[in-house]
Structure 1
Amino acid sequence: MAEQKQIKVTLVRSTIGTLKSHRDTVRGLGLGKVNSSRVLTDTPEVRGMIRKVDYLVTVSEA
C-alpha cells in the first residue's frame, strides 16, 4: 500500500470574532491556540476543512 501524503496545518490567526462553524472547523482540525500545528493526511475532507478556514491557517508539506 502506498504511503499517504501528509500536510502540516498551522493556526496563524485567532478564532476570536469568527463564525462558530469556523471555530468548530479549526477544532476539528485539531488546532487550539495560535501557532499550534498538526500533521494530517492529505484527504479531500481535510482539504475542504482547510479551504473553509483558509484565512486562519497556513499549509505546508510535512
Structure 2
Amino acid sequence: MPTVTQVKSKNGANHAQRETLRSLGLRRIGQSVEVKDNEQIRGMLHRVRHLVKVDG
C-alpha cells in the first residue's frame, strides 16, 4: 500500500483540495498515512499532487 505524506501547507488551497486532504486523513505537514491503491484514491492524489508526496 502506498504511503502519502503531506509536504506543503493547505493554506491557499481551495475548498475541494482541503476536503480531499481531510478525506485522505492528512491534517498537518509531515503526517503520513497508508492508503489503498484504487482509482478513487489515485484521483484524490491527483487533485492534491502539489501538496503531497507518494512513496510506494
What TM-score do the two structures reach when normalised by structure 2?
Answer: 0.97
User: Gaps (5+ residues) in structure 1?
Assistant: 1-5
Q: State the 4+ residue runs in structure 1 displaced beyond 4 angstroms.
A: none
Which of 1 and 2 has greater Rg?
1
Residue aligning to 2:31 = 36
Counting matched residue pairs gives 56
The 2-side partners of 1:51 and 1:40 are apart by: 14
Aligned pairs for 1:1-62 within 5 A: 6-61=1-56
The 2-side partners of 1:47 and 1:19 are apart by: 19
Deviation at 1:16, TM superposition (A): 0.5
User: Gaps (5+ residues) in structure 2?
Assistant: none
What TM-score do the two structures reach when normalised by structure 1?
Answer: 0.88
Q: Please state which structure has a larger fraction of its residues in helix.
A: 2
Deviation at 1:58, TM superposition (A): 0.5
